[in-house]
């Protein structure tokens, strides 16, 4: 079945870059997403990448996709304290639009 895995925790210093990694198993995924969740809140879509792309950049965010290894990463440049949150990667299952979420990575940005 489908499975999405992420490391649980990442701590970085303010101003440094953060890299959050994700692996998935379903090779038929059409889109891969990154969502941000702040405490007690819903999910905010940060960015997404189509499965035939290998990179997408959007301001401070860079998404890299290695389809061969089924590895996805999110790089946040110049990380700020306001970036502290839980980050979820998710894959969409072809034709159903269902999302399968990873366990989430808690990012802590130290001043």
Partner 1 sequence: GAVVSQHPSWVICKSGTSVKIECRSLDFQATTMFWYRQFPKQSLMLMATSNEGSKATYEQGVEKDKFLINHASLTLSTLTVTSAHPEDSSFYICSARAGDEQFFGPGTRLTVL
**Helix (H) and strand (E) counts in the chain:** 0, 11
The pair phi, psi for residue 82, each rounded to 5°, is: -70, -10
Sole window of 16-24, 36-44, 51-59, 61-69 interacting with partner 1 (rule: CB under 8 A) = 36-44
| Local structure of residue 18 (DSSP, 8 states) | E
**Binding of residue 47 to partner 1 (CB under 8 A):** no
Distance CA 58, CA 23 (A): 21
Q: Is residue 103 a contact point for partner 1 (CB under 8 A)?
A: yes
Site map for partner 1, 62-91, x if CB under 8 A? Answer: --------------------------x---
Question: Residues interacting with partner 1, by CB under 8 A?
Answer: 30-31, 33, 35, 40-45, 48, 88, 92, 96-104
């Amino acid at each position: 079945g489908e499975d999405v895995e992420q490391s649980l925790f990442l701590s970085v210093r303010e101003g440094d870059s953060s890299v959050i990694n994700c692996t998935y198993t379903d090779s038929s995924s059409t889109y891969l997403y990154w969502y941000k969740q702040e405490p007690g809140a819903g999910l905010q879509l940060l960015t997404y990448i189509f499965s035939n792309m290998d990179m997408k950049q959007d301001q401070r965010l860079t998404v890299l996709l290695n389809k061969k290894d089924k590895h996805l990463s999110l790089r946040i440049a110049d990380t700020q304290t306001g970036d502290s949150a839980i980050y979820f990667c998710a894959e969409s299952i072809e034709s159903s639009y269902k999302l399968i979420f990873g366990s989430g990575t808690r990012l802590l940005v130290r001043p």
